[in-house]
Amino acid sequence: MTTVLITGIEPFDGETLNPSWEAARRLDGAQVAGATLVARQLPCVIGKVVGVLRQAIEDTQPDLVICLGQAGGRGDVSIERVAINVVDARIPDNEGRQPIDEPVVAGGPAAYFSTLPIKAIVRDLRRAGVPASVSSTAGTYNCNTIFYGLSHYIATERPALRGGFVHVPYLPEMAAHHPGQPSLALETLIEGVKVMVATSLAVTADVKEGGGALH
């Protein structure tokens, strides 16, 4: 049986919800494209989150990992292209620490590209009516730390494993406290994750379609 690990992150920065975890936890145990989805929550603690992710992978032995994270202010589901080896925290994490200009992995490569079929995922999400785009910056906070930590683990210890990171907008009830900010309904996000899983399992060589940005 194929297993897909879906991770979300605990609430942070004064929020009581995190859309990434709300979607992930509702998919725990779901069957998608012949695979069983397993959900795990990751902390918003930069110094610990990679270790928690690695343990989740060891515990579940997945064939595919899709990590979700909140990106308040973004208007669509953002499939991240690249993780960079730097932490430059704009705000403290949930343990009050705020690393600045530190590596995620000392001595690690400057960056890693996602091993998910990012262009195919965007294509299929749009076809399913879910707003989506390729993003070339996962930030320099906890989400990028997760993405880089996952990518480094795959590159150095689990080369057969595929995985990547996806940023998602606020939920509507969160955007109500951030006037003017976009949001995405939880039901739409959940369906979007199912599409990501199905496409990632079906597509091993990504499609070549335009998805870049001018800035």
Note the pLDDT tens digit of each residue in 61-111.
Answer: 999 999 999 999 999 999 999 999 999 999 999 999 999 999 999 999 999
209 catalytic? Reply is no
pLDDT, position 213: 85
167 catalytic? Reply is yes
Catalytically annotated residue among 22, 44, 152, 167: 167
Question: What element of type H or E holds 37?
Answer: strand 35-42
- Domain borders along the chain are 1-200
pLDDT confidence band for 214 (50 / 70 / 90): confident
Q: Is the pLDDT of residue 166 over 90?
A: yes
Q: What is the rounded end-to-end Cα distance, in angstroms, of the chain?
A: 42
Global pTM reads 0.97
pLDDT, position 202: 97
Note the pLDDT tens digit of each residue in 1-11.
Answer: 899 999 999 99
177 secondary structure, DSSP code: T
Note the pLDDT tens digit of each residue in 98-142.
Answer: 999 999 999 999 999 999 999 999 999 999 999 999 999 999 999
Fold annotation for 1-200: Aminopeptidase (3.40.630)
Within 8 A by CB and 6+ apart from 142, the residues are 9, 12, 44, 45, 46, 49, 69, 89, 93
Tokens 């070549």, residue?
A: 208
Catalytically annotated residue among 80, 152, 173, 191: 80
Catalytically annotated residue among 22, 143, 152, 187: 143
